[in-house]
């Protein structure tokens, strides 16, 4: 489903602030893979997601989805293939618009523009049905402005918008980090449900090592712009946080402590 081959990205090249953000990264995701991504601050996690999403051109290497080369495509031309949920609940929605107006934008993503009724009765019924699955009562608030929602409600709505039309790839960029623990668990449960139901291929960045080993079927760890660990199958089933940190220190030659990565 996704192939990242020898991808390089260097920021501020040739200056005192030069930073190798991605160092010949290779990564392959099979259909329905749910891969959690961990690593210390500055390891390249968000840069990897930005490169896949097309937020900036990579310096070298190739990115493909279903064998189609998307390396040179700008972000807006990848929008019908890739959906993303960001850390900030304010980033994924238009606050001044209503819930149903936000959903109709997501529902028509990638479709040609033409004159039509803003929102039809069938679309409104669909939105109510999908919102009801969230269990937050939003199905009765279609005409409410999104600015009136809590952070958790907005993030749940953003997740629904990202998956209303099944994407080839779902990118989750620490999408629960800004939420309180109880709300974060609710949004994570919704995430697990929708990805399993729709059989979505997913990359999820997290700083929570317990979540990294609990959600999905595979965990990769990044360090200094490289993928240094790729844990799956029985190895992941038997993995503990203590063992994971031991493997990190052996693979990276670095010592890690709690101010660089959150321990659950």
pLDDT higher than threshold 50 for residue 260: no
| Structural domain count, the chain | 1
Per-residue pLDDT tens digits for 5-28: 999 999 988 899 889 999 999 999
- CA distances (Å), origin 111, targets 159, 187, 253: 20, 28, 49
Strands of the sheet with 202-205, listed across from one edge: 82-85, 169-173, 202-205, 34-39, 218-223, 226-232
CATH number where 22 lies: 3.40.50.300
Per-residue pLDDT tens digits for 57-114: 999 999 999 989 999 899 888 888 999 998 888 888 888 999 999 998 888 775 555 4
pLDDT higher than threshold 70 for residue 264: no
68 lies in some domain: yes
pLDDT at position 213, please? Answer: 92
Per-residue pLDDT tens digits for 110-140: 555 544 557 777 888 889 998 988 888 888 8
74 lies in some domain: yes
Per-residue pLDDT tens digits for 211-244: 999 999 999 999 999 999 999 999 999 999 988 8
Are 166 and 198 contacting, i.e. CB atoms less than 8 angstroms apart?
Answer: yes
pLDDT higher than threshold 50 for residue 259: no
47 lies in some domain: yes
Are 153 and 180 contacting, i.e. CB atoms less than 8 angstroms apart?
Answer: no
Give the mean pLDDT of 42-61.
Answer: 92
**Strand runs labelled E in 86-224:** 169-173, 202-205, 218-223
106 lies in some domain: no
- Under DSSP, the state recorded for 159 is H
pLDDT at position 111, please? Answer: 59
For the chain, state the CA radius of gyration. Answer: 19
Residues of the domain holding 16:
2-81+167-252
Global pTM?
A: 0.88
pLDDT higher than threshold 70 for residue 261: no
Are 67 and 7 contacting, i.e. CB atoms less than 8 angstroms apart?
Answer: no
- Give the closest residue to 151 by CA, choosing from 80, 91, 101, 231: 91
């Amino acid at each position: 489903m996704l192939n990242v081959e020898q991808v390089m990205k260097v920021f501020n090249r040739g200056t005192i602030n030069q930073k190798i953000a991605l160092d010949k990264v290779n990564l392959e995701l099979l259909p329905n893979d749910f891969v959690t991504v961990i690593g210390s601050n500055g390891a390249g996690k968000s840069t990897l997601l930005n490169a896949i999403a097309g937020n900036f051109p990579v310096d070298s290497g190739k990115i493909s989805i279903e064998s189609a080369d998307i390396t040179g495509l700008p972000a807006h031309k990848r929008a019908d293939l890739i959906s993303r949920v960001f850390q900030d609940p304010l980033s994924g929605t238009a606050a001044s618009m209503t819930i149903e107006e936000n959903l109709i934008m997501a529902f028509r993503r990638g479709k040609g523009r033409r004159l039509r009724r803003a929102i039809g009765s069938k679309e409104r019924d669909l939105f109510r049905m999908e919102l009801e699955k969230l269990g937050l009562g939003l199905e009765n608030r279609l005409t409410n402005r999104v600015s009136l929602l809590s952070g958790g409600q907005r993030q749940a709505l953003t997740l629904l918008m990202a998956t209303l039309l099944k994407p080839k790839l779902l990118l989750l960029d620490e999408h629960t980090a800004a939420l309180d623990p109880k709300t974060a668990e609710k949004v994570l449960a919704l995430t697990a449900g929708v990805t399993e139901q729709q059989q979505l291929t997913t990359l999820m960045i997290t700083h929570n090592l317990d979540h990294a080993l609990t959600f999905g079927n595979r965990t990769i760890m990044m360090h200094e712009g490289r993928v240094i660990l790729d844990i799956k199958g029985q190895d992941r089933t038997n993995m503990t946080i203590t063992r994971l940190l031991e493997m990190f220190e052996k693979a990276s030659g670095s010592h890690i402590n709690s101010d660089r990565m959150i321990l659950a």
